Amino acid sequence: MKKVVKFGGSSLANAEQFEKVGQIIRSEESRRYVVPSAPGKRFDNDTKVTDMLYQCYDAAAAGEDFGGLLNAIKERYYEIIRGLNLNLSLEEEFARIEADFKNQAGKEYAASRGEFLNGKVMAAYLGYEFVDAAAVIRFDKEGNFDGEKTDKLLGKRLAKCERAVIPGFYGAMEDGTVKTFSRGGSDVTGSLVAKAIRADVYENWTDVSGFLVTDPRIVENPVGIDTITYRELRELSYMGATVLHEDAIFPVRKEGIPINIRNTNCPEDKGTFIVESTCKKPKYVITGIAGKKGFCSINIEKSLMNSEIGFGRKILQVFEDEGISFEHVPSGIDTMTVYVHQDEFEEKEQQVIAGIHRAVQPDFVEMESDLALIAVVGRGMKSQRGTAGRIFSALAHANVNVKMIDQGSSELNIIIGVSNDEFERAVKAIYDIFVITQI
């Protein structure tokens, strides 16, 4: 059995956390490929190493003395090295970084050094081989990720390694220029490694025991999710549920490799399994509830709209021409409503309204702002009658006014629109009806 294990910044913030990680890796022979992030915060007011590197590089790029900032970063790593009693020197690496900063190697290069250095420390600590991500993760000359080339390079290189450490977050273009994924991209690296070696499981270790049914900032101590499908996760992630970088799903999904979200500080917890599909019945009708504030709706009314061919296309073309993406488009016989992000729309609202009038000559256009969208997601809803009715009942009982309801054809999710100020109350009411009371 082969496992890829990725550890986040909070799991590697200091020597004590490194020791926890070491115990986890050594407790199972199958944990053979390790993807580390850069050291995170050691305490609340601490600074992540990646942010320290950004500050240091900005000073270097401005022609300022950055020696003190670089020494502070160096001390973070040597604090870990001393705490682990390692005989390891990073002087050569830091001398190279200093020279590259002076030569303005770029912010992405600067940010990547956090993972690079932590990978060196992790490889020395475990006695594993170090494989530089810049040699095996490839971006094209435009800076776009090249999945096919990466899979070949990674597969060929790791076939020679019984056990290896591959730093997360970055790769390189053909000319050697370092290129990073977006923040949180170490999740993606772990997924790529898992795909390349055809791993049995990709374990993603962080500071939470998997996904929760809803946001713990809204509902106190929400229950955890044992198993979630990729499709359910995509729906929840899009609406704001953030434990895993959403791009990390795609490489392993193609190979049918499950992801297991685990807690470094509570390794006995089984966490959440993310799978392609499962015959396991969910504990509740719903899998999760997630949502976002800050939307607005544009309601277009026109008599006999339904008989006018191309009406919807013309409306959406107006939004496209203004560079505005839409979220949902519920419609009736003579009405069509477009939900968009309010901050994107506000600057161009008058141009959009004028464009709608020119395109379809509506009878009436009305806008409503400060709205929130809530996604209720669950594979169990398909076989359960009256899910929407229960949501309406719960919201009515909580005195929440529903502005919109939209159900996808897959019956995997229901989207509810409410006012921003009723968002938290709505989430609590839905959680209560499906999880607490289960009536």
Model confidence pLDDT, tens digit, residues 409-438:
667 889 999 999 999 999 999 999 999 986
CATH number of residue 336's parent domain: 3.30.2130.10
Residue 134, domain member (yes or no): yes
Distance between CA atoms of residues 23 and 126, nearest Å: 10
> Residue 125 has which token pair?
């600590």
pLDDT of residue 235: 85
The mean pLDDT value for 13-34 works out to 97
Q: For position 270, what pLDDT does the model report? A: 95
Q: What mean pLDDT comes out for the span 139-143?
A: 94
195 and 312 share one domain: no
- End-to-end Cα separation, the chain, in angstroms: 43
**Domain-ending residue, one of 186, 207, 228:** 207
The verdict on 166 and 297 lying in the same domain is no
Residue 47 domain-assigned (yes or no): yes
Digit-coded pLDDT (tens) for 296-317: 999 999 999 988 999 999 999 9
16 within some domain: yes
User: What global pTM score does this model have?
Assistant: 0.88
Residue 188 sits in the same domain as residue 301: no
In a domain, 60, yes or no: yes
Q: How far apart are CA 7 and CA 80, in angstroms?
A: 16
Query: Is residue 221 in a domain?
Result: no
171 and 317 fall within a common domain: no
> Are residues 330 and 426 located together in one domain of the fold?
yes
Whether 179 and 38 map to the same domain: the answer is: yes
Q: In CATH, what number is assigned to the domain containing residue 87?
A: 3.40.1160.10
Would you say residue 355 lies in a domain?
Answer: yes
Query: How many domains does the chain fold into?
Result: 2
pLDDT at 388 over 90: no
Q: Would 267 be classed as within a structural domain?
A: no
Which of 182, 207, 232 is a domain's end point? 207
Return the structure tokens found at 269: 């917890």
Residue 104 lies in a domain: yes
Confidence of residue 385 (pLDDT cuts 50, 70, 90): confident
Verify that 299 and 150 share a domain, yes or no.
no
Task: Give the separation between CA 418 and CA 395, rounded to whole angstroms.
Answer: 10
Say whether pLDDT at 249 is over 70. yes
- Residue 207 DSSP class: S
Tell me which residue range forms the domain holding 425: 288-436
Same domain for 185 and 313: no
Number of other CB atoms surrounding residue 201 within 10 Å:
18
pLDDT computed for residue 410 by the predictor: 66
Residues 283, 226: contact at Cβ < 8 Å? yes
Q: Calculate mean pLDDT across residues 254-266.
A: 94
pLDDT in tens, 64-107: 999 999 999 999 999 999 999 999 999 999 999 999 999 999 99
Instruction: Tell me, yes or no, whether 80 and 172 share the same domain.
Output: yes
62 and 155 fall within a common domain? yes
Instruction: Using the 3D structure, point to which of 207, 232, 260 is the last residue of a domain.
Output: 207
Residue 177 sits in the same domain as residue 30: yes
pLDDT in tens, 159-213: 999 999 999 999 999 999 999 998 888 999 999 999 999 999 999 999 889 999 9
Residue 239 pLDDT more than 90? no
Are residues 200 and 301 part of one domain?
no
